[in-house]
Amino acid sequence: MEHKTEGAVTRVNQEGRWDSYIDLPEKQHQLYRRTLMIVILSQIFGGAGLAAGITVGALLAQSMLGTDSFAGVPTALFTLGSAGAALFVGRLSQRFGRRLGLGAGFLAGGIGAIGVVISAVTSNVILLFISLFVYGAGTATNLQARYAGTDLASSTQRATAVSMAMVSTTLGAVAGPNLVGVTGRFATSIGVPALSGPFILAAAAYILAGLVLLFLLRPDPFVVARAIEERRIMNEPDISAKKAAVPAANSRGVIVGATVMVLTQIVMVAIMTMTPVHMRHHGHGLNEVGLVIGIHVGAMYLPSLVTGLLVDKVGRMAMAIASGITLLAAGGLAALAPANSMFLLITALALLGLGWNFGLISGTALIVDATHPSTRAKTQGTVDVLIALSGAAGGGLSGVIAAHSSYATLSITGGLLSFLLIPVVIWSRRSRI
């Protein structure tokens, strides 16, 4: 009995720090708003960091390896790295909170970006591959940061909270590709290959994002949310009520949410990865590549605020179907667009980003709806591992398909694959009847 009493006292003392947040809804709302502001700031930097790999990763590999067949390898590597990092960040966040999990992930991404620059200077392909793998930690963390905004959000605010975190990524993500020329000239001026310039920006951006979270995300929203839930369960009058107060995870919701995000990730990454290579083959310069990818990344994140409202108001499943239809249109247009038509390429890549946006926000909301704080961060990390692995598969296969067939074949295949989202949603609805 003494041991149990001491444990209870210790637990109360540890949770005493959160009493003002647990007992006062207005304090919870203040922390929710403050958390969103901090996440938004970190995402601005994080967006600039992830844009480097998207824009010039394939071109750097093509330059160093001298072949198109492995142009998809950089995307595959940093998405594989993001898979491992997603698992690590999810577990770390579950145990210690978002601050340490997300901060460590961004710092690792910055170290990876520095390694890419060194590999370009030394023409070391092995170091390039290792560094791209580590660089993927930043991509995973940038994606997982969207969950931090949902920790203290109500069920009708979750998609909107995700969207606010994601829309802020637009500032850095759009600026990054459009600074390819500037960072390339800076890199050349200091004796570094031009294509490594964006990774210099990525290193600084990821490290700044990590420092913002480590120093400013206090108190940690996930720790507070977990304490609120534990207090609610402790206040139940009897054991049976306590058990009933802990909702079981909705496995069907997790499956559907994960499937939506996995399919959209495969399609988006596959087409996006080979677009810069396709454009370069048809005489487009780096500034034009940067413009197309910048608009694509903008379409991935900028519509988020409206998308979040639609997901909360119209519904998760309706927006998942919209994702499939939009990605199908993107794949078809990319396949049919003349290579010299900047307008059609921009439109196709904008639709590609928008379809991904619909899928990610609706899928994320489904995952949050279906999980409990006691396991939520760990489950979110596991789902993001699947997303990263699907991106790695899409990136790795894209170069092979385009090299042995064509960019048009790759694009139309991706568009058709995205159409599978519709039967997934139909299955989900029938399963609930």
Contacts of 5 (CB under 8 A, 6+ apart): none
Backbone region of residue 123 per phi and psi (left: phi > 0; alpha: psi in -120 to 50; beta: other values) = left
pLDDT for position 400? 79
Query: Distance from CA of residue 334 to its chain's centroid?
Result: 23
Does the CA dihedral 379-163-144-410 come out positive or negative?
positive
* Four-point Cα dihedral 388, 392, 395, 399, nearest 10: 180
Q: What span, in angstroms and rounded, lies between the C-alpha atoms of 220 and 271?
A: 37
First-to-last alpha carbon distance for the chain, in angstroms, is 48
pLDDT for position 327? 95
CA distances from 311 to 160, 229, 257, 360 (A): 8, 25, 13, 11
pLDDT for position 311? 92
Hey, what amino acid is at 118? I
Task: Look up residue 99 and give its two tokens.
Answer: 């601050």
Task: Look up residue 59 and give its two tokens.
Answer: 């071109």
Backbone phi, psi, residue 327, to 5°: -65, -35
> pLDDT for 174-215, tens place per residue?
677 677 778 888 888 998 888 888 889 889 999 999 999 999
Q: How many CB atoms lie within 10 A of CB 123?
A: 11
Task: Look up residue 333 and give its two tokens.
Answer: 């247009």
Nearest one of 372, 370, 351, 373 to 362, comparing CA atoms: 370
Does the CA dihedral 355-33-207-210 come out positive or negative?
negative
pLDDT for position 395? 76
Q: How many CB atoms lie within 10 A of CB 203?
A: 23
Hey, what amino acid is at 316? R
Q: What span, in angstroms and rounded, lies between the C-alpha atoms of 403 and 398?
A: 8
Q: What span, in angstroms and rounded, lies between the C-alpha atoms of 119 and 367?
A: 38
Q: What span, in angstroms and rounded, lies between the C-alpha atoms of 99 and 222?
A: 9
pLDDT for position 147? 82
Task: Look up residue 394 and give its two tokens.
Answer: 């899409």
pLDDT tens for the chain, 433 residues long, are 344 433 333 333 344 465 667 777 778 878 888 888 898 889 888 888 877 666 677 778 777 877 666 666 776 787 788 888 888 898 898 889 999 999 999 999 999 999 999 998 998 888 988 998 999 899 889 888 878 888 887 777 788 888 887 777 777 766 776 777 788 888 889 988 888 888 898 899 999 999 999 999 988 888 888 888 777 667 655 554 444 444 445 677 888 999 999 999 999 988 988 888 888 787 787 788 878 888 888 888 888 879 988 998 898 899 999 999 999 999 999 999 888 888 999 999 999 999 999 999 999 889 988 887 777 888 888 888 888 888 778 877 887 788 788 888 889 988 888 888 888 877 776 655 4
pLDDT for position 289? 84
pLDDT for position 68? 64
pLDDT for position 1? 39
Nearest one of 257, 264, 260, 255 to 354, comparing CA atoms: 264
> 12-432 has which fold?
Growth Hormone; Chain: A; (1.20.1250)
pLDDT for position 238? 53
SS3 for the chain is CHHHHHHHHHHHHHHHHHHHHHHCHHHHHHHHHHHHHHHHHHHHHHHHHHHHHHHHHHHHHHHHHCCCCCCCHHHHHHHHHHHHHHHHHHHHHHHHCHHHHHHHHHHHHHHHHHHHHHHHHHCCHHHHHHHHHHHHHHHHHHHHHHHHCCCCCCCCCHHHHHHHHHHHHHHHHHHHHHCHHHHHHHHHHCCCCHHHHHHHHHHHHHHHHHHHHHHHCCCCHHHHHHHHHHHHHHCCCCHHHHHHHCCCCCHHHHHHHHHHHHHHHHHHHHHHHHHHHHHHHCCCCHHHHHHHHHHHHHHHHCCHHHHHHHHHHCCHHHHHHHHHHHHHHHHHHHHHCCCCCHHHHHHHHHHHHHHHHHHHHHHHHHHHHCCCCCCHHHHHHHHHHHHHHHHHHHHHHHHHHHHHCCHHHHHHHHHHHHCCHHHHHHHHHHHHC
CA angle 354, 359, 363 (to 5 degrees): 150
> pLDDT for 227-275, tens place per residue?
887 776 676 555 544 444 444 456 778 889 999 999 999 999 889 888 8
Domain locations in the chain as residue ranges: 12-432
Hey, what amino acid is at 328? L
Q: What span, in angstroms and rounded, lies between the C-alpha atoms of 304 and 302?
A: 5
